[in-house]
Amino acid sequence: MRELLLGIDIGTSSCKCAVFDPEGAVLASRTAEYEVFRPKAFWAEQAPEDWAESVFSCIRSIFAETDVLPGEISGIGIDGQSWSAIPMDKDGNVLAKTPIWMDMRSQSICDRLNREIGEEAIFACAGNPLTPSYSTAKVTWFKENRPDIYPKIDKILQSNSYLVYRLTGLLSQDKSQGYGLHCFDMRTGTWNMDMAKALGIEERFLPEIFSCDEVVGGVTEEAAAQTGLLIGTPVVAGGLDAACGTLGAGVFLDGDTQEQGGQAGGMSICIEDYAADPRLILSCHVVPDRWLLQGGTTGGGGAMRWFEANFADFERNNGGKPSLVQLNEIAEKIPAGSEGLIFLPYMSGERTPIWDPKAKGVFYGLDFGKTKGHFVRALMEGVAFSLKHNLDTAEGAGAKVGALRAMGGSANSLLWTQIKADVTGKEIIVPSSDTATTLGAAILAGIGTGIYSSYEEAVKKTVKDQRKHEPYLTNRAVYDKTYETYLELYQALKGTMHKGGEEA
């Protein structure tokens, strides 16, 4: 019987389940979408039960419609979006929807905690600034705004640990997602209970911490009935989606760098020595004894999804090629720099390196000569500029960045990937971009169950490079000038953005 690995990805807009053989070949894959709820300005939340129902449906479909057998699944790895705050009671019930990483409702709470405790003290422990995106202030928001549920909370879970619970019945916290809570000591990978007390996070809320490749438990009888998996199938703790994607793209050695092209954009630089910078994000890698110095924009591939959903009716109804392919084709006809049209991809506030929850998306430079193609190319370039902004910040902080290893759906666009290479001046290597995140989760399961003896062996066996993009020097002068304007626009519009945010 084959030894196969199941990787599960809890993304922002959808989940993905993929079955891999030990060489990294995808034998079966299923995807299911779910909703982001936005009931008020600055809110973005999801129902964890929707994640589980979607994942279980995908697994059942794989067993029903492919030749993969439940008994062939040797291990399960789960990755998930960052900075959830899932309130669970003692009976394992979800008490409320979780604010997700795009949720910015808790700015005033962050401001107060930073004043009372001190930004420097918080940063010294957590290696990250206290901002609304993280899980920390979301817990306090529950305390101050949901007295109906707060006393009932027994544990706060992250997205992947919730799915681990649904499969195994056991509560856990993996190291790579620890950075969501600012009482997680980034140097030691343990809870700092003094900081937890200062932040008002109750000790009972904090689950036991596991290494990402550590087996938490086996599939329960209930979960087996819901999925078709065999009772007892090992489930590892899993980790952060960006970290699993980084591993699945082949980034596990010091200085290796991943370029993120999923719903969010950004980058992750693997480092061996602790190095925190308040402008960036620091997390533990899913690979032991490594950290990831990260940069992330709210408007990555999600910005293109938004544009396609709202402005591509013609392409969707034109038959033949997929709408995104047609959008790429009209963007290819536009010269570098989009003839002065510039996009700020701050579609849900912005994270690194500006950390501004009131930042707004902007198209600047409109005139009668601009076409839909200009908008599409400017959108691609704006996301590339945000990537450069983060890379420049990381290099300014002392990080070494070589070639970028791309992952996510955006990497399927040759044009967009080339634009990123041209804007950043970096070579971009594209492995199997659509499966990097689930592959990373599957590798964790393979390490935890002994299918791989080391991360080096796992990456060597499974990660296959598809193509490379060298930067076109002829476009650099145009992009360098446009990038300067991109940076100036935010500074010039910051006051207006904040005024508009207060009015909203």
Radius of gyration, CA atoms only, the chain: 22
Structure confidence by residue, pLDDT tens digits, 283-298: 999 999 999 999 989 8
- State residue 342 phi and psi, 5-degree precision: -125, 140
Contact 135, 80 (CB under 8 A): no
Contact 195, 182 (CB under 8 A): yes
- How much is the mean pLDDT over the chain? 96
Identify the DSSP state of 279: T
Structure confidence by residue, pLDDT tens digits, 229-286: 999 999 999 999 999 999 999 999 998 999 998 888 899 999 999 999 999 999 999 9
Q: How is domain 251-430+466-497 classified at the CATH fold level?
A: Nucleotidyltransferase; domain 5 (3.30.420)
The domain ranges of the chain are 4-245, 251-430+466-497
Instruction: Please report which helix (H) or strand (E) contains residue 137, including its range.
Output: helix 136-145
94 three-class SS: strand
Task: Please determine, for residue 325, whether its predicted confidence score (pLDDT) is greater than 90.
Answer: yes
280 three-class SS: coil
Q: Which long-range contacts (CB under 8 A, 24 or more apart) does 476-485 make?
A: 476/422, 476/425, 478/335, 478/336, 478/337, 479/336, 479/337, 479/381, 479/422, 479/423, 481/337, 482/337, 482/342, 482/381, 482/385, 483/385, 483/388, 483/423, 485/342, 485/364
* Distance separating alpha carbons of residues 216 and 448, to the nearest angstrom: 10
Structure confidence by residue, pLDDT tens digits, 407-433: 888 999 999 999 999 999 999 999 976
Classify 340 in phi/psi space as left (phi over 0), alpha (psi -120 to 50) or beta: left
pLDDT of residue 448: 98
Q: Which residue has the tokens 């980084």?
A: 246
Q: Which residues fall within 8 angstroms of residue 325, CB to CB, at 6 or more apart?
A: none
Q: How far, CA to CA in Å, does 59 sit from each of 2, 160, 418?
A: 17, 16, 35
Structure confidence by residue, pLDDT tens digits, 194-225: 999 999 999 999 999 999 999 999 999 999 99
pLDDT, mean of residues 161-186: 98
Contact 380, 388 (CB under 8 A): no
The type of residue at 263 is: Q
Contact 205, 39 (CB under 8 A): no
For 69, other C-beta atoms within 10 Å of its C-beta total 13
Task: Please determine, for residue 308, whether its predicted confidence score (pLDDT) is greater than 80.
Answer: yes
Lookup: tokens for 141:
């928001």
Measured on CA atoms in the order 329, 333, 336, 340, is the torsion positive or negative?
Answer: negative
Structure confidence by residue, pLDDT tens digits, 450-484: 999 999 999 999 999 999 999 999 999 999 999 99
pLDDT, mean of residues 3-14: 96
Please say whether the structural domain 4-245 has been given the CATH code 3.30.420.40: yes
Lookup: tokens for 54:
């979607």
For 325, other C-beta atoms within 10 Å of its C-beta total 12
Tell me, rounded to whole angstroms, the distance of Cα 284 from its chain centroid.
14
Structure confidence by residue, pLDDT tens digits, 16-35: 999 999 999 999 999 999 99
Instruction: Please report which helix (H) or strand (E) contains residue 88, including its range.
Output: strand 86-88
Contact 15, 34 (CB under 8 A): yes
* Distance separating alpha carbons of residues 345 and 359, to the nearest angstrom: 9
Contact 327, 300 (CB under 8 A): no
Contact 10, 241 (CB under 8 A): yes
- DSSP string of 425-487? T--EEE-SGGGHHHHHHHHHHHHHTTS-S-HHHHHHHH----EEE---GGGHHHHHHHHHHHH
4-245 with 251-430+466-497: one CATH topology? yes
* Distance separating alpha carbons of residues 294 and 299, to the nearest angstrom: 15
HSE at residue 56, side-chain half, CA atoms within 13 A, is 18
pLDDT of residue 107: 94
pLDDT, mean of residues 56-70: 98
**Lowest-pLDDT range, 26-30, 114-118, 434-438, 465-469?**
434-438
